[in-house]
Chain A
Amino acid sequence: MKKKLLSALLSVAMVSALLVGCGDTAAAPEAAPAATEATDDAAAPADDAAADDTTAAPAGNWVSSDDGKTLNIYCWNEEFKSRLTDHYPGYTEVDATHGTIGDVNVVWNITPSDDNAYQNNLDETLLGQMDAAADDKIDLFLLEADYALKYVDTEYTIPVSELGVTDADVADQYQYTKDVVTDSNGALKGVSWQGCPGVLIYNRAAATEVLGADDAETVQAAVKDWDTFKATAAKMKDAGYKMTATSNDAFRVFSNNVTSKWVENGAINIDANIKAWVDMSKEMVDAGETGTADLWSDDWSAGFYPEGKVFCYFGPAWLINFCMAADDAASIAAQGGWGATEGPQGFFWGGTWICGANGTDNASLVADIMKQLTCNPDIMTEIVKADDDFVNNKPAMDAMAVDASYSSNVYGGINPLPMYCAGVEKIDLSNLSNYDQGCNESFQAAMKEYFEGNATYEEALDLFYTSVTEKYPELTY
């Protein structure tokens, strides 16, 4: 989630949200019998096995049926709900957390992702999924890329083909959105309606002042690779601009282009590209070309305004549309002062995936929601126009990219879709691992100490290892 850093910053007692549902499994060995006891009413013998043995269940042990009267949806915010309400044919809203589709009741279980609360809640419910009463079983839940594999590579998510979504249905989707949710056996476990290719968003005034012009070609030439990017940073520095607001801005671009995973064979691994980010950032911080604040902090967002003197941000469509203070007349966004170009490397940021839960009793409804929202070009085009999303449908987006009637105000009336279309093709996510979220966060936090001169690179690395093994005790380094 985009605001992860901010919400972590704001959280009081991280512990608590985490503990919400985990009492039973967590507390002590004797919890296990207690858990099975509690499920007597609904349990069948096989279910105990499923509950106790969460790892080694044979792949393909899929359970689904179609007679459910309640569709339970687990998510962390209202985004998907508003997509479903606005665009899914036949959805009727009852109140904030209930709706109906035909004679099926839709129940929204919305848990904020703050402090991992969403994942904790989801984990506990999924672990009890097989023993839950039919109306309490999760039917559909949402995931983010950072932790998608944690769920996708288990038998808690059901392959979309089991539900009736075929390869042909998803043929128009961007490949990276499928890579994120493909399990180690090659089965597609989820679908997304959006694509979130990122671009380099630059301050036009700064570009004109320092590079002589503010068109995308000129700027792209100045940021076409990291060496050029660094050279431009020095020029920006001389003109009083920071290249990026913080060193963390570029992290995502580097970490999306790694050639190895964060964890290889159970050991923590620092990819060469990650190290390249460290080296570049250290030089830039030392030279005063970028800062060390966290994303979403005041120091980061100061550059949304002219007086913040920041040359560029890395971000996808949603960042520029919703986060860069376009509703404040004094902001650069409100004055149409941002331009965008592809930048040194392709990357993505954000996105939400729909997964069907193993054991769902509304299989065909789940499949239909998936098909309508992620495979139906008419509905998806509607989403682009209504919600400024970049949707996960290549032909539809390619068509809109050349549609002169669609444009974005923040970019001063330019249609940004061609650039996003170009960017999304370059995203390669074959090196995702289960540990990405924790590793990325810890690494940025640890390297901040190195950038600020409080530690050597080795000390910062030690700090990173400590922090990661606190999160994932099973890892070595």
Chain B
Amino acid sequence: MAKEKKKTSQVVKYNKWGYIFLIPFIVVYLVFQMIPLFSTIYNSLFENYRQGLTQIGPNWVGLANFQKIFAGTGNDSMPTYFLNTMIMWIAGFVPQILLSLLLGAWFSDTRLRVKAAGFFKTVIYMPNLIMASAFAMLFFSLFSDAGPINSMLIQMGIISQPFKFLSHTVSARSLVAFMNCLMWFGNTTILLMAGMMGIDNSLFEAAQVDGATSTQVFFRITLPLLKPILIYVMITSLIGGLQMFDVPQILTNGEGNPMRTTMTMIMKLNKYLFSKDFGMAGAMSVILFIITGVLSVIVYKFSTKETDY
């Protein structure tokens, strides 16, 4: 990329436009995100909830809310909720990114010449158009005890009793991961393809003239040039994963069955918000904020280290 920085007055004159172009974002951000964020953090230091119609607090309690959250044990502890979230995210993200890369490679492979590629490219994003709630409703009835999946498996003689998909940790988590993967792999593929289209065609042509195989083209040219987009996909997906909520919420009726092994951090936060325990909800939010921040910084640092620009 253009590296040369001419330190002339001409350039400086242009550069004030940098600030000007940033004004809308910064102003809107400060008003609609920053103020609410600070008020949430402030809130986390108070005991503040509703007992029936009676407001308790706000009473200053310092870090007591945080202590209460970290005092949870067993299935009701922060590390558990964090692990639940990460396991379900990874289980969905790995197949998702592999599938997206594979599809991206196929679609951009000039030798493979996939017919009706336009159709396939259009179709893969479609699951994302359905509301997560509607999607989960369909999944729920598909995988219910008397649902079609169970009757199919019984007919095929694989099982004799209906399998309770949502009552076993592995199958419940897998369902969540599968749904997330299905909903988001099209999104990822489109992001990757848009990135691939940004790659100069002459590079591919040159490679082909030089006799590179499709695989070589993909790993030597496409992938490295896709790096910025891949990092983007990775980080946004991580953020999305940490915020995972609606799919497990609906699929497990908000309970995180079985025994809270599918309860994510946001689902736990939701429990406090739902009961109007705003002090605890605030504390939970702050913890989430810190976890997300730390993780994203790690991913970001890790993935930009080897990039030399």
* B-binding residues in A (CB < 8 A): 5, 8-15, 18-19, 22, 25-29, 54-55, 115-116, 123, 126-127, 150-151, 153-154, 156, 291-294, 297-299, 302, 308, 434, 445, 448-449, 452, 454-455, 459, 462-463, 466-467, 470-474
A12: nearest residue on chain B (CB-CB)? B133
Partner pick for A299 among B49, B144, B257, B277, CB 8 A cutoff: B144
CB contacts (< 8 Å) of A472 on chain B: these are 51, 275
Verify B270–A15 contact, CB threshold 8 A. Answer: yes
Verify B137–A127 contact, CB threshold 8 A. Answer: no
Q: B interface, how many residues as a size bin?
A: 35 or more
Q: List 14 A-B contacts (CB under 8 A).
A: A8-B254, A9-B140, A14-B274, A15-B270, A22-B50, A22-B276, A27-B43, A123-B50, A123-B53, A150-B53, A455-B258, A463-B76, A463-B259, A470-B271
With both chains docked as a complex, state the minimum distance between the C-beta of A241 and any C-beta of chain B, in angstroms. Answer: 15
Verify A28–B58 contact, CB threshold 8 A. Answer: yes
In the bound assembly, the distance between CA atoms of A204 and B76 in angstroms comes to 46
Given A12-B131, A12-B249, A298-B147, verify A151-B53 contact (CB < 8 Å): yes
Contact with A along B145-185 (1 / 0, CB 8 A): 11100000000000000001001100000000000000000
> What DSSP secondary structure best describes chain A's contact surface?
helix
CB contacts (< 8 Å) of B259 on chain A: these are 449, 454-455, 459, 463
Partner pick for A452 among B39, B43, B167, CB 8 A cutoff: B167
B267: nearest residue on chain A (CB-CB)? A14
In the bound assembly, the distance between CA atoms of A298 and B270 in angstroms comes to 26
In the bound assembly, the distance between CA atoms of A151 and B52 in angstroms comes to 8
Known contacts A18-B274, A126-B53, A452-B164, then 11 further A-B pairs from the complex at CB < 8 Å, ordered by chain A residue: A5-B253, A11-B250, A12-B131, A27-B43, A28-B42, A154-B53, A297-B144, A449-B257, A459-B259, A472-B275, A474-B56
Verify A298–B141 contact, CB threshold 8 A. Answer: yes
Verify B260–A463 contact, CB threshold 8 A. Answer: yes
Partner pick for B51 among A15, A116, A474, CB 8 A cutoff: A474
With both chains docked as a complex, state the minimum distance between the C-beta of A285 and any C-beta of chain B, in angstroms. Answer: 11
In the bound assembly, the distance between CA atoms of A299 and B132 in angstroms comes to 22
With both chains docked as a complex, state the minimum distance between the C-beta of B152 and any C-beta of chain A, in angstroms. Answer: 15
Partner pick for A25 among B55, B257, B275, CB 8 A cutoff: B55
Asked if B255 is at the interface (CB within 8 A of a chain A CB), the reply is yes
Closest 3 CB pairs of A and B: A12-B133, A454-B258, A29-B58
CB contacts (< 8 Å) of B273 on chain A: these are 14-15, 18-19
Verify B144–A293 contact, CB threshold 8 A. Answer: yes
A460: nearest residue on chain B (CB-CB)? B259
Asked if B93 is at the interface (CB within 8 A of a chain A CB), the reply is no
Verify B131–A466 contact, CB threshold 8 A. Answer: no
**Using a CB-CB cutoff of 8 Å, which residues 29-67 of chain B contact chain A?**
39, 42-43, 46, 48-56, 58
With both chains docked as a complex, state the minimum distance between the C-beta of A309 and any C-beta of chain B, in angstroms. Answer: 10
CB contacts (< 8 Å) of B50 on chain A: these are 22, 25, 123
With both chains docked as a complex, state the minimum distance between the C-beta of B186 and any C-beta of chain A, in angstroms. Answer: 20
Verify A18–B53 contact, CB threshold 8 A. Answer: no
Asked if B245 is at the interface (CB within 8 A of a chain A CB), the reply is yes
With both chains docked as a complex, state the minimum distance between the C-beta of B240 and any C-beta of chain A, in angstroms. Answer: 15
A434: nearest residue on chain B (CB-CB)? B52
Contact with A along B247-288 (1 / 0, CB 8 A): 001100111011110000000001111111110100000000
With both chains docked as a complex, state the minimum distance between the C-beta of B285 and any C-beta of chain A, in angstroms. Answer: 11
CB contacts (< 8 Å) of B274 on chain A: these are 14-15, 18, 115-116, 471
CB contacts (< 8 Å) of A156 on chain B: these are 53
Verify A462–B74 contact, CB threshold 8 A. Answer: yes
**Using a CB-CB cutoff of 8 Å, which residues 217-265 of chain B contact chain A?**
245-246, 249-250, 253-255, 257-260
B51: nearest residue on chain A (CB-CB)? A474
Partner pick for A10 among B76, B137, B271, B276, CB 8 A cutoff: B137
Asked if B75 is at the interface (CB within 8 A of a chain A CB), the reply is yes
CB contacts (< 8 Å) of A308 on chain B: these are 146
Verify B55–A294 contact, CB threshold 8 A. Answer: no
Verify B52–A9 contact, CB threshold 8 A. Answer: no
CB contacts (< 8 Å) of A298 on chain B: these are 141, 144, 146-147
In the bound assembly, the distance between CA atoms of A402 and B141 in angstroms comes to 44
With both chains docked as a complex, state the minimum distance between the C-beta of B73 and any C-beta of chain A, in angstroms. Answer: 9
Verify A473–B250 contact, CB threshold 8 A. Answer: no
Verify A8–B46 contact, CB threshold 8 A. Answer: no
With both chains docked as a complex, state the minimum distance between the C-beta of B235 and any C-beta of chain A, in angstroms. Answer: 23
B273: nearest residue on chain A (CB-CB)? A15
B53: nearest residue on chain A (CB-CB)? A154
Verify B133–A10 contact, CB threshold 8 A. Answer: yes
With both chains docked as a complex, state the minimum distance between the C-beta of B44 and any C-beta of chain A, in angstroms. Answer: 10
With both chains docked as a complex, state the minimum distance between the C-beta of B162 and any C-beta of chain A, in angstroms. Answer: 9
CB contacts (< 8 Å) of B48 on chain A: these are 26, 29
In the bound assembly, the distance between CA atoms of A308 and B146 in angstroms comes to 9
In the bound assembly, the distance between CA atoms of A449 and B259 in angstroms comes to 7
In the bound assembly, the distance between CA atoms of A18 and B275 in angstroms comes to 8
In the bound assembly, the distance between CA atoms of A392 and B87 in angstroms comes to 54
In the bound assembly, the distance between CA atoms of A470 and B272 in angstroms comes to 6
CB contacts (< 8 Å) of A449 on chain B: these are 257-259
Given A298-B144, A454-B258, verify A12-B53 contact (CB < 8 Å): no
In the bound assembly, the distance between CA atoms of A289 and B226 in angstroms comes to 58
